[in-house]
Structure 1
Amino acid sequence: MAKQNNTKTKRPLNPWKWAFWLLLLAILVPVIALYLYIQTADQETASVGKPATTEEVSDETITAEANLSTVSFNRLVSAVIGGDDVPYQLTVDDHVSFAGTIDALGTKVAYTMQGQPSVMEDGNIAIDVTNIELAGLQLPTSTVLAIFQLTLPTDLPLQVLSGEEQIIIRLDQVSQDMDFAIRASDIDLANDEINILLDVPLNYIEEQIETETEGNQ
């Protein structure tokens, strides 16, 4: 009888997660630098005043705001819902565009879809679909979106609400795989103004500082 191989195969990290981490690294660096500055100032103040007390900060966070250009926002969106493993081409300029093929009535049909992004109350990004073009077919927007949803990978942080004619970029779902939370604050592509918020736990910042310190010793 053949011997079973019990060696576990490592699951590779999704490519979009790598791209997302690299993009956000530039945002996290100044946050950590600011925290170091505040900590140093607090220690200097404590040394000439009352004895310092240790506070529990594991449940505290620092919120950092990143002001992105449309180009940077394009990179962010592409990192989250773009790449080689999705069944469409994604572009962001003065609107968000998807292009690909869907299976309509047993036939592969090329489509282009455009929408305007806006910020939801929970910090996710809603794309209101404003235009859909199908090669040689006329179908309701809700029907096209329902078919479009069937083409998406199950682990993609993208939710399709065909009845509302919306596509939701689930930043809350992305945050579950990160050590910090990301949410949108304001999106105005026409005026090149996009604001993204990062909620970074203090204990995570401290861990990064300790890791960096140990690496330099």
Structure 2
Amino acid sequence: MEEKNTKQKLNFWKWAFLLLLSIVLGVTIWLTIQLTPVVQGEPNLELSETEEEEITFQIYAQKKDLNQLVTTYIDEELSNKQVDFNFILDKEAQLSGIFQLFGRDVGFSLFLDPFVMENGNLQFKATRISVGALDLPISFAMNLIKSQLKVPKWVAIDTKKEIIVFNLNEFYLESGMHFTAEKIDLENDDIRINVFLPNK
């Protein structure tokens, strides 16, 4: 009888030990799974490569900063071309220069209202034009400007809609740097430009 009781006690401790061992192993496995990062699918190598190709940042500029930038571009980048215009930002955007009218040089100032397009390009809607003492329709004057003015290829003049578009998506510096517009508020002097710089 005593031998039977001894076996029962041994069996009890045996099962108690196995149960405890199972609990410890189960908790250990659960903790290991929870603390190990899980990667679902293949890593997006294309995204990483794209991020490494360009550095992107945004700059806040004032009108005087952009006026200086445009002047520098005209002086340096267009120095080997016939340049007969100026572009400045004030209360409005203003394109000024000289064109030929009836065989004479006539100065003009075209005033424009800027607008940021969805693709980051800049559109300027003509609001009025000053051509000496002459009173010319905007579309007629813009036709003269388009036919005579030497503007960069990335600048498009639409005389019917009376707009000028700066196609920034076609404009790249020699370094590969390019830009998109985020905001242009001339009244509050708040201009924001996205800059894309090759990461080389």
TM-score range, shorter chain: 0.5 to 0.7
- What is aligned with 1:162? 159
Change (3 A) 1:115 1:192: same
Structure 2 residue aligned with 1:127: 124
Match for residue 70 of structure 1? 63
The DSSP-based 3-state class of the residue aligned with 1:198 is: strand
Q: Which runs of 5+ in 1 are unaligned?
A: 1-48, 208-217
Among all aligned residue pairs of Structure 1 and Structure 2, give the percentage whose two residues are the same amino acid: 24
Which residue is equivalent to 1:3?
A: none
Contact 1:87 1:151 in 2 (8 A): no
SS in structure 2 at match of 1:186: strand
> TM-score, normalising length from structure 2?
0.64
Matches within 5 A, 1:178-217: 178-200=175-197, 204-205=198-199, 207=200
Structure 2, unaligned stretches of length 5 or more?
Answer: 1-35, 38-42
User: Which digits, 9 at most, give the CA deviation of each residue in 1:142-191, with x for residues without a partner?
Assistant: 11111101223364432111111111122112137552431001000110
- Is the Cα contact below 8 Å between 1:95 and 1:114 reproduced in 2? yes
The answer for the alignment partner of 1:173 in structure 2 is 170
Structure 1 segment 23-38 matched on structure 2, within 5 A: none
- Aligned match for 1:58, one of 42, 45, 49: 49
Deviates more, 1:176-185 or 1:155-164: 176-185
Offset of residue 66 of structure 1: 0.8
Aligned to 2:148: 151
Match of 2:109 in 1: 112
CA 1:178–1:119 in structure 2 vs 1: closer, same or farther (change >3 Å)? farther
Aligned partner letter, 1:140: P
* Change in 2 beyond 3 A, CA 1:54/1:140: closer
Alignment-mate amino acid for residue 58 of structure 2: E
Larger Rg: 2
Name which of structure 1's ranges 151-160 and 124-133 shifts more when overlaid on structure 2.
151-160
How many residues are treated as equivalent by the alignment?
152
Secondary structure in 2 matching 1:149:
helix
Moved more, 163-172 or 102-111: 102-111
1:23-72 deviations in Å (ceiling 9; x for gaps): xxxxxxxxxxxxxxxxxxxxxxxxxx99xx99553333443111111211
Alignment of 1:77-88 (within 5 A): 77-80=70-73, 82-83=74-75, 85-88=82-85
C-alpha root-mean-square deviation of aligned residues, in Å? 2.7
2-side partners of 1:194 and 1:163: how far apart? Answer: 28
Residue 120 of structure 1 aligns with an amino acid whose one-letter code is M
After superposition, give the CA deviation of every residue in 1:77-117 in whole Å (9 maximum; x if it has no partner).
3345x336521233222222222221223332221211121
Report the secondary structure of 1:150's partner residue.
helix
Q: Using a 3 Å threshold, how does the CA distance of structure 1 residues 127 and 54 change in structure 2: closer, same or farther? A: closer
User: What residue in structure 1 maps to residue 134 of structure 2?
Assistant: 137
TM-score, normalised with respect to structure 1: 0.60
Equivalent position SS for 1:58: helix
User: What is the identity, as a one-letter code, of the residue corresponding to 2:64?
Assistant: V
